[in-house]
Amino acid sequence: MKLPILVSSLLIAGSASAQLPGLGLISSSGARIGFFFPSNDQGKALGKQWTVIGFDTRLGPKIGPVELEASVDYYERNGGRNVATLLNGRFRIGKSLSLSAGTGVGFERVPGVTSRTSSNSQISARYEFSTTGVGGLFFEARYYASRAKQLQGVGFLVGIRF
């Protein structure tokens, strides 16, 4: 299961480093870490608080008011885990606040169930403490939806743009 994490991380890192000068294909990337709280009793049985890490890369120029981004989030506890690889649309509300929604593929593992790939989605709200350049810190609240009910819940994360 570590292979999907490695592949997803390399894809995002590689795409960030492959930006062509002057084309603005990728505007910035970010990393985040925090806690995931399952909303389902079966998920809570695996642990009431899970660790989550994530990475995202903004893609291309804005399409109207929407910024596109690719993201990978990994959360795990006591044999349950998910690697959510998503394409998101981010809508800015002022300089510091933004809302995001996305859909994609999750590489899931739930105890007693074979590992599988299924559709995943997320909605989130982010507050950026610094909106200028590299090194901007942010806080994000994110709801993760998955085919496996044990892997659905809310995440609270802090991160940095680079």
| pLDDT tens string 72-82 | 999 999 999 99
- 13-18 average pLDDT score: 44
Output the pTM of the full model.
0.81
Q: What is the pLDDT of residue 26?
A: 52
CA dist 142 to 29, 69, 102, 157, Å?
A: 17, 15, 11, 8
**How many folded domains does the chain comprise?**
1
With CA atoms as reference, report the closest residue to 56 among 157, 148, 153, 151: 157
Q: What is the CATH number of the domain that holds 149?
A: 2.40.160.20
For residue 133, give its domain range.
Answer: 2-15+24-161
Q: Tell me: the pLDDT tens digits for 19-39?
A: 444 445 455 899 999 999 999
| Position with higher pLDDT, 113 vs 155 | 155
Judged by average pLDDT, the poorest of 17-31, 76-90, 103-117 is 17-31
How far is CA 108 from its chain centroid?
15
Distance separating alpha carbons of residues 121 and 115, to the nearest angstrom: 18
Q: What is the pLDDT of residue 162?
A: 85
The residues, ordered by sequence, that sit 6+ positions from 139 with a Cβ below 8 Å of its Cβ are 126, 127, 129, 156, 157, 158, 159
Distance separating alpha carbons of residues 135 and 94, to the nearest angstrom: 19
- 63-74 average pLDDT score: 95
